[in-house]
Amino acid sequence: MTDATPRLLPWSSPDGKPCFVLGDGTGYISRMADDVEEAQLTLADGLIADSRRLLRARNWTSGELHLLTVELTESLAEIRRIAKSRGARLQAISGAERPA
């Protein structure tokens, strides 16, 4: 294996620690991580649509707002993790392309 940069995975260990994988991005774990990230992004799109619809109606209960806040917070944490992972991979690629 070459000088692979660890990829932050979109899930944590059972004790809450970050999980990483080394490789060229074509292995089973990397493909599974891609699928999980895609699902998380799709869920975020749905939450955005739901929150816009709920807020536009101006007829919500405190329970609905609480649930929406919980779900948006969880989704935001997932999306932030995806952004950090992808940013690190882009930085590794751009750093590898720079002449020494």
pLDDT tens-digit profile of 55-86?
A: 999 998 999 999 999 999 999 999 999 999 99
Query: What pLDDT is attached to residue 4?
Result: 74
Q: What is the mean pLDDT of residues 37-58?
A: 95
Query: What pLDDT is attached to residue 96?
Result: 64
> Any idea what DSSP says for residue 81?
H
Structure-block tokens of residue 65? 């707002």
Flag whether pLDDT at 35 surpasses 90: yes
Amino acid identity for residue 52 in this structure? R
H-helix or E-strand containing 18? Answer: strand 18-21
Query: What pLDDT is attached to residue 1?
Result: 44
Of 13, 12, 9, 15, nearest in space to 29 by CA? 9
The fraction of the chain above a pLDDT of 70, given in percent, is: 92
